Structure 1
């Protein structure tokens, strides 16, 4: 479960007291060793804040924080824990907890990012089988960048990718079998990367057969309430040559 950890400083001084232990060891332990901390950053002081309100269609701007208070949000961290007790334990070990306060807020329940991205990859498989270009293109962001080893070309934008896919399908007769193996996924807040071997098999329009295996690296970005592919790079792994058999 995901939690937002708000790091709250105290007092009139917006600088972290000199006696506070450095935060880097805490970040390193929870990020690299335990994979609890997904993302986080220090924030500029409240004096640099800008507060916006809209009243009667007019945008009202106030320089400074929303409310005058001795406590202020100095930074934030996004944690992924098994439950609130693990989140509390992680927050209690944060160096600023000794001089300020740590506020823990759970995210609203939503579909797990890993599940959503794997469902997106399954959608590509179904789109290939049905030769449905538009269904496949719906998985990509408008500004996607794709490099494909088979053509040696790079497509910038979904329109260029659509044309390349339509040209590729014009050389194929019937459905396209897309088999994914070794799928590995890394999610970091609103971006993610996956690595996998993708085998593509199909019957060519001239009666031959296509059988290729590629290593595909894919970058994803969360757009609103869904994930989209923003980068994709394909290469032929060692020992997996592209095989195209003609009659």
Structure 2
């Protein structure tokens, strides 16, 4: 079970005698209890954002004027709330401030992250088959880093990927079959990676067959309540065969 540990400091307490945090971080990290975390800047650098009547209202400073503030966070992976509380009690800031322990909301509603990634890939396959450009691009984050090497031409960025898809869909008649020959997924609580072989087949407008197999590496990240593609690197196997290995005898 994942728990968010909010580290709350207190400006009125003397922190000069507080023990260093590094041993706590290292000990829980070695046991794979602490997954990640980070300090936050002071509340004076915060910006509070509200939307009222369609207008964005921005206020410099924290949400509430209080002597206590969130100074950092840690994500813990514990078997129980009691284990998370015990870990929080050993954090040095607990001696001068407070630690808020809160379980993560079950994001996947019973569906594990790997299943969610495979479902997204299946949606991508269906969108390609239907030649639905908007549905394909909906599988990608707006800031996705996409790199494709196709027909010997390098294409980088989501805009170039959109153009490449438009060219592909315009060059064929009927559906484009996207067959995932091998999909290996590696995932944790917030990011994931997949390695796959993807075969694209169809019929070009001039009657010739489309048949290309790509080696694809894909990175995923949580965007709101959904994982989206944030990195994709695809190379045609035809291009890989033509690449010369440095030092290789000719």
TM-score by length of 1: 0.71
Question: Which residue of 1 is the match for residue 24 of structure 2?
Answer: 26
2:86 match: 89
Inter-CA distance 131–11: structure 2 relative to 1 (3 Å threshold): closer
Please give the per-residue CA displacement for 1:174-222, whole angstroms capped at 9, x wherever unaligned: 4413215342334464xx24131223142443444625240x2223343
Match of 2:247 in 1: none
The 3 A distance-change label for structure 1 pair 60 and 157 is: closer
1:59-104 CA distance string (max 9 Å, x none): 58575672434x4432112234343233223323433334433210
CA shift for structure 1 position 226: 2.8
Q: Distance in 2 between matches of 1:58 and 1:121?
A: 36
Pairing 1:72-111 to 2, within 5 Å after superposition: 72-111=69-108
Aligned to 1:40: 37
Uncovered stretches (5+) of structure 1, i.e. residues with no partner: 243-247
* 2:147 paired with 1:185: no
Kept in 2, the 8 Å contact 1:180–1:196? The answer is no
Where does residue 157 of structure 2 map in the other structure? 156
Taking structure 1 as reference, are residues 79 and 235 closer, same or farther at Cα in structure 2, changes over 3 Å only?
A: farther
Q: CA RMSD in A?
A: 3.7
Residue 122 of structure 2 corresponds to 122
State the secondary structure of the residue aligned to 2:150. coil
C-alpha distance in 1 between matches for 2:226 and 2:104: 16
1:1-247 matches, cutoff 5 A: 1-10=1-10, 12-13=12-13, 16-23=15-22, 25-31=23-29, 34=32, 36-46=33-43, 61=59, 66-69=64-67, 71-111=68-108, 113-151=113-151, 152-158=153-159, 160-169=160-169, 170-171=171-172, 174-179=175-180, 181-187=182-188, 189=190, 192-205=191-204, 206-208=207-209, 210-214=211-215, 216-235=216-235, 241=241
Q: 1:230 Cα deviation (Å)?
A: 2.9
| Contact 2:18-2:96 within 8 A present in 1 as well | no
Structure 2: gaps (5+ residues):
243-250
Paired residues, number: 232
TM-score, with normalisation over the residues of structure 2? 0.70
Query: 2: distance between equivalents of 1:217 and 1:80?
Result: 28
